[in-house]
Structures are given as structure tokens and as C-alpha cells.
Structure 1
Amino acid sequence: MVPPDDGPLPPPRRWAVVAAAIGAGIGTGLLGTSLHGHALYSGAVAVPLGAVAALVMLAAVELFVGLWSRNSWTVVLCGAAAYLCAGLLSMQRGAFGMISANIQGTVWLYGIALVTPLAAWLSWTILRRGRR
């Protein structure tokens, strides 16, 4: 037996949207930082597969948060939280830093700043089409 359809869900509350965006950004920043260091070496050239996978994960999480909240600005908030988390983890504490100044670290840190506006634009485009 199929349950009756009660129509669309109500929009989430503002505090829930902000908490979800920040939490998803911090979680993705932590997971992406742990993933970004994996690389495929072809001779002396490193292909940053881990950083690319981390950026794909970030884009998916940001798009999910933006479409769930029905607001493309939450994508920017999620990306800012991920960038802040990755930035704090990249700080060199003595001889230890989780994000090094190599190709993987560069792709991960600069990629966050590139993927976030693209995901916000994609979220905005999808939400705008849904309102027509």
C-alpha cells in the first residue's frame, strides 16, 4: 500500500539551514583534507587524484545543501566553512602541517575557492528553473 502524498515539504528553518551548511562545510573540509594527499605518480609527475576527488565531494555536498535549503547562498556558507577548516589545517605548527605546499595541497585549497561559486551558480540555476 502506498502512503498518501501530503504535497511538498515545508522549507527548513533558518537556524537549521545555517547549522547544516556550517556542519557540512566543516565535515567536508576535514574529509577533503584527509583525502587530498592521495596522488597517482607517473614518473616525476604527480596527478592529484585525491584533491580532485575531494573537490567533487565538496561540490556534491554544497549542491545538496543548496537544493535542500532552497537557497543558493547556503552553498557559499558551506564553502566558506570548508575553506576555513582547510585553512586552519594548513597552518604549519612546527614541522607539522596537514596540507603541504605541493600540487595536491594547491589544487585542494585553490579548488575550494573555484568550486564553491560554480556550485552556487548551479544551485541558483536549478532553483530558478524549479520556480517557473
Structure 2
Amino acid sequence: MTSPAAPGSPPGRGPAGPGPELPPDLPPEGNPLPPPRRWAMVAAAVGAGIGTGLLGTSLHGHALYAGATAIPLGSLAALVMLAAVELFVGLWGRNVWTVVLCGAAAYLCAGVLSLQRGAFGMISANIQGNVWLFGIAVATPLVAWLAWAVLRRSRR
């Protein structure tokens, strides 16, 4: 249902070109969108970190028991989720420091939830809790390095 392109007009752009007409505020094809604003990156990193810290804390307690040995599958799944969220935030914001900020927010959230208030504490000192808490501190720099490598390659 498209008409042929008008002479001298680029194909795919404008009412006479093939394909849908693009709104004027979209960048030309092949050019990436501008990076998000700094406040949006900080808000996304902190929000994603707190959300992942809450979800990971609720997930970390699941374990598979082989005899008397606990295999912390919930902690490993929570760390994979954290790594995926951190990588997404870092690549979306095109900034490695947002990965670190997201990990710091998740670690702060998990740290607050691990405080023992009387008989209540959401993260106990067992293998699942240790893998989750210390895994955040290990996974965050590794994901920051991975995001740095991906962003460096994409800038070439």
C-alpha cells in the first residue's frame, strides 16, 4: 500500500517512500538513541538494586539437600538474577558505574535485611545466606568488568 519514492527522496522516509512513515523525533535508521539522563540512570540503578536485593533475599533460602549437604540453588539463582539485572542496567545506561551502583544498592538492601532484630532476621548465617551476601560482593565487580568489555567493544 505504499507508493514509489519521490525522485530525490530517500527510500523508507517520508510519505512517498516504502514502509511506514517515521515520526520526526526518532533518530535516522542505524543511529542509536541518545543515552538516558543521569538522574534516570541513578534512579534505575538504585531501584533495580533494591528490587533485586528484596527478590534475591526472598529467593536465597531455597536449597537442594543431598544427604546432610545443602546445595544453595536459591542463592545461585538470586545471583544470576542480580547479574542479569546489573548487566541490563549497565548496558541500558551505557555506563559501568551504574552496575556498581545497582550492586551497592542490592548489597545494602540485603545487609539491612540480614540484621538480626531479636529472633527475626531474613538472612541467617548458613550456606545460603553466606553465598547470597558474599556473592553480591563477588558478582558485582565481575559484571562491571563484563559490561565494560561489551561497551568498549561496541564503541569501536
TM-score band w.r.t. shorter chain: over 0.9
Match of 2:51 among 24, 27, 30: 27
Aligned residues: 132
CA deviation vs aligned residue, 1:11-54 (integer Å, no higher than 9, x gap): 10000000000000000000000000000000100000000000
Identity over aligned pairs, percent: 80
Segments ≥4 residues shifted beyond 6 Å? none
Change (3 A) 1:103 1:2: farther
Distance in 1 (CA, whole Å) between partners of 2:41 and 2:137 is 21
Pick 1 or 2: higher relative contact order, CA cutoff 8 A, min separation 6.
Answer: 1
Give the aligned partner of residue 7 of structure 2: none
Please state if 1:80 is matched with 2:104.
Answer: yes
What TM-score do the two structures reach when normalised by structure 2? 0.82
Looking at CA atoms only, which structure, 1 or 2, has the larger radius of gyration?
2
- Describe how 1:3-14 pairs up with structure 2 within 5 A: 4=22, 6=28, 7-14=31-38
Change (3 A) 1:94 1:127: same
What TM-score do the two structures reach when normalised by structure 1? 0.97
Distance in 2 (CA, whole Å) between partners of 1:96 and 1:102 is 15
Unaligned runs of 5+ in 2: 1-18
Give the aligned partner of residue 141 of structure 2: 117
Q: CA deviation at 1:8?
A: 1.3
The one-letter amino acid of 2:73's match is L
Give the aligned partner of residue 61 of structure 1: 85
Q: CA deviation at 1:2?
A: 5.3
